[in-house]
Amino acid sequence: MNEDNIEHISRSTNAISEWSIEFLKNIGISDNWVKYINLIFLVSVVVVLVFVVQYVTRIILQTILSRSARLSKADILENLSKRRFPHFLAMIVPFSLAKGSIPIIFDQFPKTMRFMDKLADIYLIFYVIWLIMSVVNAFSDTLRTKPSLKDKPLDSYVQVVKIIFYIIGFIILFSILTGQNPTVIITGLGAASAILMLIFKDTILGFVASLQVSTNDMVRIGDWITMPKYGADGDVVQITLTTVKIRNFDKTITTIPPYSLVSDSFQNWRGMVDTGGRRLKRSVFIKQSTIRFIREEEIAGLEKIQYISDYIQKKAVEINEYNSRAGADKSLLINGRNLTNMGLYRHYIDNYLRNHPDVHKELLLIVRQLQPTSKGLPLELYFFTATIDWVRYEEIVSDVFDHITAAAGYFDLELYEDVSNPVIASLSVANSDGSQLLQ
């Protein structure tokens, strides 16, 4: 702006101020009070104009943005409206009006004019930051609706962007207040980098951890993770620069630092969720003294058990052929090959699980013996349910073990039970066939 324009504006503002003062004098205001009354009068007029202009501008912008969002169906436009972008954008016109009226209002108060002008510059910095934050938040909300980004730690990156703009705003604000060149302030911040790194240590570590977590796909929003060190066992609901929030299954919230996901060990159950099956690995303990050979006269009765009838018939033929070729003396059961109640029970459980409608058929299923212990011979069931729902999972597991516990008596087997309690030791339960299950 050249000197002629500045002089023209100055004459115009002085003319308005002089006209206002002259008007007040004509209505009988004394010379001692006229400039103060003029100040109040002009401030009142500008305040009313600012509110009216801001309201009208906001309504116009809100209407334009809402109609554009409906016609284009663009999520970003709808999110801009929710994040009050029209409200902040509408403040440009009233701010320009207020800024331009400062020389008019404070024409008789030069020192106050300089102060108000600097105050307006400071407000402009905050206003620009509010406007930028509104756009950043709207953009972040839009990205969260994308299926590919819905479970990513967007909060961390959004916070980094916000911090950058806050730092720029702080530098400009400090420059206005102190009159220093921004480059001098930036140089000073560089010299104080060690202190800044100490202050923003968690933020820096959190940002680096967020990059590693996102790049390596270690944790997503919604993942079920377990970290015993922090007492965390639940779903990840938020990942920011400084915190990871986990909603535990007891509805409590555990907050951990993001870099702990990189430095510490944790268990992520996403693989279970993706496969659609939840693993069960549990053993029943068989009393070893009840394990025995099956006698010939018992085979006919055991063939009535549907899940092993075909197995018994096939195995009986195979065993008889082997014993005949080997010339085994079957006057003693130990000679040659024989069926055992334990083997039949194990195959029964295996076939029972493979025919169970709630057991996952495409994942690993094993029924195996483990190393004997003081509690007996462990018979381990290793399989996956066809659901990952916790309540339904527990129902399936309970039904399976109810069945195999009750089925043990049909094979003349006893399950381990601690009989050190004299009350329990005195109990004896018999099944429907009269065979004793617990002693």
Residue by residue, DSSP assigns 11-32 as: HHHHHHHHHHHHHHHHTT--HH
Where are the CATH 3.30.70.100 domain residues in the chain? 278-292+340-438
Residue 184's pLDDT is 67
Where are the CATH 2.30.30.60 domain residues in the chain? 181-272
* Residue 2 pLDDT class (50, 70, 90 cuts): very low
DSSP 338: -
Residue 439's pLDDT is 29
CA triple 423-414-335, angle to 5 deg: 145
158 touches 99 (CB < 8 A): no
- Over 90: is that where the pLDDT of 342 sits? yes
Angle between helical axes of 154-178 and 110-144 (0-180°, round to 10):
170
Residue 36's pLDDT is 67
CATH architecture of the domain covering 181-272: Roll (2.30)
In angstroms, rounded to a whole number, what is the distance separating the alpha carbons of residues 121 and 211? Answer: 37
* Residue 17 pLDDT class (50, 70, 90 cuts): low
- Over 70: is that where the pLDDT of 196 sits? no
What DSSP assignment string belongs to 117-186? Answer: HHHHHHHHHHHHHHHHHHHHHHHHHHHHTSTTTTTS-HHHHHHHHHHHHHHHHHHHHHHHHH---HHHHH
Q: Supply the CATH classification number for the domain 278-292+340-438.
A: 3.30.70.100
Question: Roughly how many angstroms between the first and final C-alpha of the chain, as a whole number?
Answer: 105
In angstroms, rounded to a whole number, what is the distance separating the alpha carbons of residues 66 and 79? Answer: 10
Please give the mean pLDDT across all residues of the chain: 78
In angstroms, rounded to a whole number, what is the distance separating the alpha carbons of residues 366 and 368? Answer: 6
Highest mean pLDDT among 98-102, 217-221, 367-371: 367-371
- The H or E element that residue 279 is part of is strand 278-286
pLDDT, average across residues 382-406: 92
Highest mean pLDDT among 66-70, 136-140, 318-322: 318-322
Residue 10's pLDDT is 45
Which residues, in sequence order, are CB contacts of 68 under 8 Å at separation 6+?
A: 74, 77
- The H or E element that residue 384 is part of is strand 377-385
DSSP 336: S
**Sign of dihedral through CA atoms 240, 242, 247, 252?**
negative
Q: Which of 210, 252, 213 is nearest to 231 (CA)?
A: 252
What's the predicted TM-score (pTM) here? 0.56
CA triple 308-313-317, angle to 5 deg: 145
pLDDT, average across residues 10-15: 50
Residue 19's pLDDT is 58
- Over 60: is that where the pLDDT of 310 sits? yes
- Over 60: is that where the pLDDT of 24 sits? no
307 touches 355 (CB < 8 A): yes
- Over 90: is that where the pLDDT of 286 sits? yes
Residue 436's pLDDT is 37
The pairing of beta strand 436-438 with beta strand 429-430 = antiparallel
In angstroms, rounded to a whole number, what is the distance separating the alpha carbons of residues 86 and 57? Answer: 9
278 touches 393 (CB < 8 A): yes
55 touches 37 (CB < 8 A): no
* Residue 29 pLDDT class (50, 70, 90 cuts): low
98 touches 46 (CB < 8 A): yes
Could you tell me what percent of the chain has a pLDDT over 70?
79
- pLDDT tens digits, 132-156: 888 888 888 787 777 766 666 677 6
Q: Alpha helices of 179-269 — where are they, by DSSP H?
A: 182-191, 193-199, 201-215, 260-263
- Over 70: is that where the pLDDT of 255 sits? yes
Residue 428: count of CB within 10 angstroms of its CB: 9
